[in-house]
Amino acid sequence: MENKPKLTVVKIGGNVIDSKTALKAFLNDFAALNGYKILVHGGGKIATKTAEGLGIIPVFHEGRRITDTPMLDVAVMTYAGLINKDITAQLQALQNNALGFTGADGNMILSEKRKNVAIDFGWVGDIVSVNHELVKVLLQQNVVPVFCAITHNGNGQLLNTNADTIASALAVACSKDFDVNLLYCFEKKGVLSNADDNDSVIKKLTFSKYSQLREEKVIHSGMLPKLENCYDALNKGVSAVYIGSPKMIKKGDTPYTQVAL
């Protein structure tokens, strides 16, 4: 059987995006990664700050953003504009031929407005399909795609879409053609067995161990959707999934969590 080329999909979020210093250090490490790679970014805190500066009050339900029309405008400006282009420019300076995308560009990620839920989240999208053929062509041309958290519905409507889910969907779609590693980078060192102890990193989190810790409410509730995306990716063809600080890109002695079935 022919060996597939390796692809690394990295999602960056949390406080790393908010800090110019932390982002610059991460992008230096990301740029040095060998082989095919894709970057996916969030930026919720910057969107919240931008909204407040414009007199728009962000609304959340159980930690999830309600995206009404004014908030969608802010999300598009912040994610697809400010953050995406800043990251793309910095990667160009590091000799990575980066190209920034929303899901609408090249019909990369098609979504539908979230439905059948008790709360109306507004212009929030759930992913329907990924244009993996176009992603493959770009990668083969040594382009580094940089995806923000904005998708579209195919009828001209942009949608705010969870960046963790975008990273997982891209990894799964690309696993048809590539041997994919999916990395979730944020401010913590990994999945913690004690939320108050940043050094209590679970080195390997199998699904049975995850189920047990979830039952015992050991894993912080904010981590649950991220882990659901991890297991979904592993069940659909992604080779390996890791969660940790941006330093784990260089591996070495840095602790991180490997998510395993």
- Residues making up the binding site for substrate: 43-44, 65, 160
Annotated binding-site ranges: 43-44, 65, 160
Backbone φ and ψ for 104, nearest 5 degrees, come out as -75, -30
Distance of CA 233 to the CA centre of its chain: 12
Three-class SS state of 60 = strand
CA atoms of 149 and 223, how far apart (whole Å) = 18
Q: What is the end-to-end Cα distance of the chain in Å, rounded?
A: 24
CA atoms of 82 and 78, how far apart (whole Å) = 5
CB neighbour class for 198 (10 Å; exposed up to 12, middle 13-18, buried from 19): middle
Question: How do strand 158-160 and strand 144-147 relate by DSSP bridges?
Answer: unpaired
Distance of CA 218 to the CA centre of its chain: 23
Three-class SS state of 59 = strand
Dihedral Cα 81, 87, 91, 93, nearest 10 deg:
80
Q: Buried b / exposed e across 1-38, counting CB within 10 Å, b at 16+?
A: eeeeeebbbbbbbbebbeeeebbeebbeebbebeebbb
